[in-house]
Each structure stands twice: as structure tokens, then as C-alpha cells.
Structure 1
Amino acid sequence: MPGAPKTSSEKTAAWIGITLWALGCLFGLIFLSWMFLISPLMTPYAGEIIKAEIIAAMFAVPACLVYMTVPWIVDRFDPEPWWALAMAFLWGALAAAGFAGLINTIAGAIGEGVAGKGGGDFLGAVISAPLVEEGFKGMAVLGMFWFMRREFDGVVDGMIYGVFAALGFAMTENVLYYSSAIAKGSVTGAGMGEFTFQFVMRGILKPWGHPLYTAITGLGVGLARETTKGWVKWAAPIGFYFIAVSMHAMWNFTSVLSGWTGVPLFFFLLIMYFIVLICFMIMVFWLVAREGKTLRANLQDEVLMGNMTAEDLDLICSPFGRLKARMSKGAKGHKMVMVGIRLGMAKWHAARAMKGQKQTVSIQSIVPLRQELIALRQELARGY
């Protein structure tokens, strides 16, 4: 939360978080390099595989960029800084994908060694993948919660970080699945049928699978950020993580069962997926509207004190306030809305801290943000 200088403990926490993030991404990149480059070069089909990976990336990356606009549009009031979203995305694309790929491969090999191919599919896809993938994707949200709390206000932020981490993960995973299908069709002469199926399923029908699961984990971490109850701070992240794992495992089990029986059972699960996704999106929009009501409740007294007008309050609490302010008042109007939002958030944090009898740096941000808001309004009134 801008407004007050960072304390030494905040700076230390941020550096620890950045260091862990960098190490995770580095080791994840090493594992991915083995999977995507070194391992193919050790086969007689290296050229076909690498060519397939390039083609796969040409489909997976642009689609991911399009999907990234959705959480950006949804996060209307206090959008997360681009660098924080980039960190979450890269963690998902490199660290989570790399570590999960390694662990799932080992789990699948162990299962196959013990119980044959069916055992490998079950242990790798149904047991390991949901636990490991949701765990590593969720680390992006936990990292922001633990190490960069100023950039983490509550439930909406937790879901946004979760979605960006999951989009990064899904992009890398899609390159793997698409390239495998393309290479298989090229080597066997089967054509692009398998790739078409994978692209339709993963890129069109179910692109929000991973983001949905990790947003649920982010919801739990966001509840931990908002609550003043000690037990909720532990129970919510763990509980919602296992909900995400269960949903992921259910989908993977249905896919594995379809492979065993030859019956496309996952098409029935698609119907449930769409119902859950629609319900979840309704909840997200409700939470965003709740954020606007929270801002209004914490800024009403600023109108009474004469620090802003009722019209300013309506603009700040509108989902499209930043856009309206930029169009009508220019960059300075946009900045005024952002400062007003940060002031409301700081007061919300302070109220939560006092309720839980805890300390928060947000209390120190209130006066500087209020003064900045007053100064911006005066400049706008003078026509600067």
C-alpha cells in the first residue's frame, strides 16, 4: 500500500521473497530446458520434436495473452502492479511447470514400475499432478501474501494472482501437450488430428481449468489476509487448496478413466465444469462489487470532512472510475481516483488491524494519501 515508506522488515521480507522467486524460476527453467530441449536432442526425432514445440508455442502463447486480459478487466478498483502480476505469471510458467513436470514424471514412472501403465497414469495424473501442480501454483499467491503484503489486500487480489500464475503454468503445459501431439502425428503419419483435439479441449473448451483451480486457492489465501481470526488464517488456505486439488483430481481421473474404457466420459464432466465456472465468475463479480462497497464505506467520512465531493466518491467507487476520470480529467484525474482508492484501502486495513488488535503500516499511509488527494483535487480545480 503506497503512502508510507517501507519498513526495514518489509524490505527484508521483499528481498527474501524475490530471492526465493528467482531461485524457483531458475531451477524450473533448468528442468524445462531438459524436457523441451536436451531430452529431444537425445532422440532420433529431435528435428521433428523441436519444430513441433515451436509450432505449439505459436498457438499457446497468443491464446494465453488473450486470456490474460480477462483478470485485468475484472480487477477494476485497485489493480495489482504489472511487476507483481509478471512475477506470478513467470512463477507459474517456469517454477511451477518445471518442478511439477519433474515430480509428476517421477511419480508416473514409479506407478508404472509397480502397477503397469495404468498405475503410472493413476499415480502421475490423478494423485501427483493435482497435489503438486496446485501446490506450486499456489506458492505464487502465498509468496505475495508472506513477502509483499502491501500488494495483497484481500480475496480479489488472491484470486487475481492465482489466475496469473495458473495462466503461466497452463501456457507452458499447453506447449508440451500440443508439441507432443504434433510430433506424434508427424512421426507416425497420423496427421494433425490429435493436435486439433488437444487444442480444442485445452485452448477453447477448457482454458480456464487451471486458473479456476488456483483462483480457489487464492480465494483461501485472500480470506486469510482479510480475517482477524487466527484459525481462519491457517484453515482457509489449506481448506481451499484441497478443494482445488479435489476438482483437479476429479477432472484428471475422468480423463484417465476415459483412456482406460475408451468412453469419452470427460465430456459429461465438461458440463459440470461450465456450471462451476459460471457460478465462480458470478461470485468474482460479486466480490468486485463488494470491494466497491468497502471503498465507499471507508471514504464516506472524507466527504463529510470536505476532502472530496460526493461526485468524487461516486467516481472512486465506480468499477469504471479510472477510465471515466482519464477521459474527463486526464492523467491527473486518473491519479486522483487511484489515490482515493488507496486511501480507502488503507483505512480498511487500519480498521481490520484495530479490530484484531494488531499493527499495520497502513495507518501511517492514511494522512499522506489524504494530503495527496486534497492536493490533486486543488490542482484539478485550478485547471492544472
Structure 2
Amino acid sequence: MSVASSERRALARGDRRAFARNGLPAEVDPATPLPKRLLRSRLFWLSVVVLLGYLACAALLYRQVVPDQEVPGGTVPGLGTEALPIAAKYAAITAVPLSLVFLWADRFRPQRIWVWLMTFGWGAFVATFISAQVNTWAASQLSIAGDGDPATGPRAAIFVAPFVEEAAKGTVLFWLAILMRYQWVSRLSGIVLAGLSGAAFAFVENILYYGRAYRYAARTFGQVPPLEALQQLFLLRGVLTFFGHPLFTSMLGIGLAVALRSKSKTVRVVAPLAGYLGAVFLHMAFNTTASLTQGRSQFFVYLFVALPLVVGLVVFVVRQLLREGRLIRDRLVDYVRVGWLPEGDPAALSRLRTRSKAVWHALFLGPDPLLATLRMQRAVTELAYLRDAMVRGLVDQTGVQREKALLGRIRALRSLAVTQPTGRAAYPSFRRRRAAEAVGGYAPASYPGPAGLGGNYPAPVMTAAAPPPGVPPSATAPLGQTATQYSEVDPTWKPPGE
């Protein structure tokens, strides 16, 4: 091995360490085949292991809640295979639109699809399985046998479930913060990931509640029909209080996002802890209200406490969207001042409406312009957030290498990408072609027509002078009586036989 090659390898190892220390993604060699890149990726193997863990938790949870369980002294009825698909359908009515709303909010710097899937899978299977085990054990420890205070029944729901469930849902956020802290660029990233985990947790939890209501009504004589009992519970959990788990966990997501974008060590410790305690407090207040209040008191708490919190979160998300747009514009102006970006880029690439319009225009230009437009918008957004991290001191001089790579990518994509859309998109034309254009092999029509004036004889040859340049022949054709021309009379003509 030569000295030069060993020095290059040492330099490459040093660069990889510097990139890993700052959380920056290393540039991928496009010449390397995709299977080889996947086999060498630690993130790929970690995803495989996590996926297998999700499947295991899902199988264990299914065995625990679906079939009937034999216990000392009797049988605990499970959900049953009949109620499970019905309950899953009603639970999906809430989970699917709620998840799409969270994905829509993550528009400036959307995460990779596998990140969304891993977050949703954790909340749906791992968090629910852990919470079910711990909550069941805690409820058995806090229960009172014999005559006791009826208020001690909800002890586990008030004092145990909030701590356990918020910790179980939020664990995936801590893992993602460690693995991909560079991609947590704003509070919106924390809210979206936390909301997905909470929506997935609520999805599986609602399946359990709906299935139990359906099975209990089916096994109890004289009660309401099973489907009606399920629909009543769906109105309460899936319509009126669907925001519960995503709202609670979003507090932890905001705390983690604040910690990752701060240089202070104190803030990095206090912000996630404060977010977790805020999620636990909201969860505890919700369970307390649902367990100990009824009727008008519960309605007042819902109307004047719960709904204002949801409206406040929506307003916060909208304000963050506007704030992120201003941040991207301000950071891109730095590159315009040194001549590395055109003057129109900051305004066009920092507005969601303009970015969406550019994607729409590129959609009708073909797959290559569409892909180039999406890649360029992502590269420009990453460049703006990288510049912000360098200004804040979160990234050292290693960020300059990533900055050069992003600028080179933007320069290469600019010829195909749509950045500043104007006018209408290049919509395909579906108008019918004219008959003359549809039939090929015939000369274009000329005055007075291919069949003459009467329609029975060939058209006479026109001897008029050629029309001026730019004027069609039909514009100089004679009209009226002068349009009719007669052949000369032969004076020697006579009928045959004379």
C-alpha cells in the first residue's frame, strides 16, 4: 500500500468522524450500487432489528388481548376475532386523517418515509405493549379488596398511566434525537414526530376499547346492540377527544426540539425534562377529569380547557410555519450577497405556496423535472438550516464541506428544476383534432373546394394572381357572380348525326 493511499484513507476516516461528531450526513458515492450501500449502512440494519421488534410486540399484544385468557378462578374474555376488524376500522377513521395532518405540517424539511414508519410503529406496538404490562401490574398493586373507597379505582389511570405511557411514547423521540439530531431543525419536527407516535398509540388503544365495548355488549343480555355500543364509545374517544395522546406527547417533542437547537448545556437537560413533565401533567389532568367528573362539570372542562389547548397548539404550529419560512429566507440571503445564489431564490424557496406551485408545474413537465424540483427544494432548505446551525455555533467548520456539497447539488439541479413558476402549468391538451389534421395523405383544401361549386365536378383551376405574402389563398378568391367561370363556346359544335 502506498503512502499516498494510506494518507487519503486516514483523511477520509477523519472526515467521517468529524461529520459524525456534528451529526452531518456523509456524502454518498452515487457509483456504489444500492444493495451494497444498504448492506454497509448501520441505519439499515438498525431498522431491520427495530422492525423485527415491532412484529414481536404486535404478536405478543395480539395473544394477550384477542383470545380468551384462562386465569385462576375463571376466564377473562378477549376481544375475539369478530370484534377486532370492526374496532380497527373505527379506530382508523381517526388515526389516518390525524397522521396525514401531522405529515402535512412537516413541509419545509419533511423526514424520510422510514422515519415516519418507525415512529408510527413504535407508538402502535412497542409503546402500547409496554404500557399494557406496566399498567396492568400497577392496577393490581393499587387495587383494594373488599369494601373500600370507590375513588381508589382510577388510581392507576391517574397516578401511573400518565408517567408510563408518556415515557413509552417518547422513548422513540429520544432515539431519533440521538441518531438524526441534524434533521431536527425546528419545533415542527418535534411536534410531527411526537404527534405520529401519539396517534399510533391512540390507534391501538382505541382498538382495545372499541373491541371490549363490542364484546361486552354482545355477551350481555338486554344491553344495547354491540355495534351501537361501539359507536357510542367512538363518538366519545374518536370524535370528541381524539386529540388527547398527540397533544400530550407533542409537549415532549417541543422540549426535545428546543434542546437540540440550543447551545446551552442547561437548556439541553432542562427542556426535555420540562416537556416530559408537561406531557404527564396534561395526561394526568385528562384522566382525572374523565374518571372523577361527570355531566356538566366534565362538559365545562372540555369546553373551556381541552379545546383551548388544542386551538393553542394549532396556532403554535401555524406560527412556526411562518417563522420557519422567514428563517429560510434570511439564511438564503447570505448566499445571495456573496453571489452563490440568484436574487429570486430566497423569496421563491421560502414560501410554501410558491414551492407547491413549482412542484405542480414540474409535475406536467415530466419525471426528471419533478424529481429535480423536489431535490432542489430539499437541498436549499437543508442549506438554510445548515447556515443557521453554523451561525448558532452548533456545527463547527466541518459544516463548510457539507455546505459546498449542497451548493454543488443545487447548481447541478437548477437547469431541470422549477424554482420560480410563472403563468399556467403545461397542462396536456385533450382537444379533438380537426378532420383535415386527422386524415393524412391529402392536400390542404383550397377555394372553391375539392368538389367544385356544385359538388359534382372537379374544381376549376384558378388563374388569379398569387396572393401577397402572409395572406391565405382563400382571402383573394373571387366571390359572388365573378366567382363563376365558364369555358369558351366552340362555334363548330353540333349534335351528332347532323
TM-score, structure 1 as length reference: 0.87
8 Å Cα contact 2:66/2:80 also seen in 1: no
Identify the match of residue 169 of structure 2 among 123, 137, 140.
137
Q: 1:232 to 1:371 in 2, by over 3 A?
A: same
Is 1:5 the counterpart of 2:27? The answer is: yes
State the partner residue of 2:341.
Answer: 308
Conservation of the 8 A alpha-carbon contact between 1:108 and 1:123: yes
Secondary structure class of the residue paired with 1:320: helix
- Residue aligning to 2:263: 228
Residue 37 of structure 1: aligned partner:
66
Structure 1 residues 226-276: Cα deviation after superposition (integer angstroms, max 9, x where no partner)? 111101101011111111101110110111113xxx646432221111111
The alignment status of 1:88 with 2:119, answered yes or no, reads yes
Letter in 2 for 1:80: Q
CA–CA separation in structure 2 for the residues paired with 1:339 and 1:374: 10
Alignment correspondent of 1:183? 215
Aligned to 1:78: 109
- Of residues 149, 154, 159, the one that matches 2:191 is 159
Q: 1:211 to 1:380 in 2, by over 3 A?
A: closer
Pairs within 5 Å for 1:218-257: 218-257=253-292
CA drift of 1:337 comes to 1.7
Map of 2:356 onto structure 1: 323
The alpha carbon displacement at 1:202 in A equals 1.2
Cα distance change of structure 1 residues 197 and 376 upon mapping to structure 2, 3 Å threshold: same
Question: Could you list the runs of 5+ residues in structure 2 that have no partner in the other structure?
Answer: 1-22, 29-39, 363-368, 419-498
Q: 1:186 to 1:205 in 2, by over 3 A?
A: same
2:385 aligned partner: 345
Distance 1:16 1:106, change over 3 A: farther
Q: Is there any run of 5+ residues in structure 1 with no aligned partner, and where?
A: none
Q: TM-score with structure 2 length normalisation?
A: 0.68
Deviation larger for 86-95 or 116-125: 116-125
Which 10-residue stretch deviates more, 139-148 or 265-274? 265-274
Higher RCO (C-alpha under 8 Å, 6+ residues apart) = 1
Relative distance call for 1:194 and 1:313 in structure 2 (3 A) is same
Distance 1:237 1:24, change over 3 A: farther
* Counterpart in the other structure of 2:433: none
Q: 2:79·2:212 contact (CA, 8 Å) conserved in 1? A: no
Matches within 5 A, 1:265-280: 265-271=297-303, 272-280=305-313
Equivalent residue, structure 1, for 2:402:
365
CA-CA distance at 1:14 after TM superposition: 4.4
Which 10-residue stretch deviates more, 324-333 or 125-134? Answer: 324-333
> 1-side partners of 2:91 and 2:63: how far apart?
20
The 1:48–1:177 alpha-carbon spacing in structure 2 relative to 1, beyond 3 Å, is closer
State yes or no: 1:298 paired with 2:331. Answer: yes
Match of 2:319 in 1: 286
| Whole-angstrom distance in 2 between the partners of 1:270 and 1:45 | 34
SS across alignment from 1:310: coil
Return the offset for 1:117. Answer: 8.1
The alignment yields a C-alpha RMSD, in angstroms, of 2.8
Which structure has greater helix proportion? 1
Give the 3-state SS of the residue equivalent to 1:106 in structure 2.
Answer: helix
Residues 96 and 133 of structure 1 are in contact (CA less than 8 Å); yes or no, is this contact kept in structure 2? yes
